[in-house]
Amino acid sequence: MKTLKIGKADVVPGSPNTLLYDGIVVDLGGKNSELPIQGEIQLATHGHADHIAGLFREAKSKFLPPEDRWGISLLGRRMAVYGFSCNESSLFTYDLIKEDLQATFKDPEVQVISTPGHTPGHVSYVIGDVLYAGDAFFGQRVLEGFVFPFYVDFWKAMESLAKIKEISNSVEGIVISHGPLYDKRKMLDLIEFNINYGQKLVNRVKDSLSDWVTSQQVVVKVMEGMGKKVEEISPTSIIMNERTALSIINGLNVDITTTIDGVKFRLHH
């Protein structure tokens, strides 16, 4: 098994990158879940399917933030990705491994930091001298590939990024789930890149709202504006990116109307 030293932790490269530190495993998933990785403690940053395989392994304790328990059922995962408006329904808080998961996680070696935005319950972990930030921000190629970073709450994600930037000064290494494994200096640059990218995206969304448009039309306009060709814009990418776009629109001063094509928005002027 190939690992990389980041601070005092070992990281198994993958998508997600998996962190190993003194019997603690964070975000075991994707192809890495085929590896024989055991830990006393299995932690997940959030409920997305590619981050939770470790929770189904034998371990003394396991943690997934309670607000992300929908991630353990297939229906919950689908609804969470494509959008649902009845979050409180027991359908979406259904939990397959409830007995094993505690509501809060306490360990002298682990600091749990609430970093919502990507999902409602997303957390980051400071373990030893390393900050594992999960999907709170992304590698440059991931950002430019999807155009919109996947944030169910874009504005909370930006606040979380500011929090991460602050914490990152006091650690030796910073690791994200989907992106390259860089030294601290380059990771600080990547945080800055994510913050600027978010600002750029807000401006693009604003520009697309000069006349009445649906959130899906906003996505297409922004993707085209960011250089994507028509054949690169799939229905899946529109629906996924629509979640982030809606969240950005929600924080702007817009007029709203309902039409046969759905809800339309226009920048208030």
- Minimum CB separation of residue 13 from Zn ion in Å reads 14
Question: How many whole angstroms separate alpha carbon 244 and alpha carbon 144?
Answer: 15
Amino acid (1-letter code) at residue 163: K
- Minimum CB separation of residue 246 from Zn ion in Å reads 18
Question: How many whole angstroms separate alpha carbon 64 and alpha carbon 104?
Answer: 9
On the 0-12 / 13-18 / 19+ scale of CB atoms within 10 A, 25 is: buried
Q: What angle do CA 157, 163, 169 make, to 5 degrees?
A: 135
- Minimum CB separation of residue 140 from Zn ion in Å reads 16
For residue 70, give both structure tokens.
């929908």
* 177/244 with CB nearer Zn ion: 177
68 HSE (CA, 13 A, CB side): 28
* 7/47 with CB nearer Zn ion: 47
CB 199, CB 158: distance < 8 Å: no
* 49/267 with CB nearer Zn ion: 49
For residue 23, give both structure tokens.
């019997």
- Minimum CB separation of residue 147 from Zn ion in Å reads 17
* 18/208 with CB nearer Zn ion: 18
- Minimum CB separation of residue 257 from Zn ion in Å reads 33
* 17/177 with CB nearer Zn ion: 177
φ, ψ for residue 104 (rounded to 5)?
-130, 160
Residue closest to Zn ion (Cβ): 48
* 48/156 with CB nearer Zn ion: 48
For residue 239, give both structure tokens.
């629906």
- Minimum CB separation of residue 131 from Zn ion in Å reads 16
Question: How many whole angstroms separate alpha carbon 269 and alpha carbon 266?
Answer: 9
Residues that bind Zn ion (CB under 5 A): 48, 135, 177
Question: How many whole angstroms separate alpha carbon 25 and alpha carbon 29?
Answer: 11
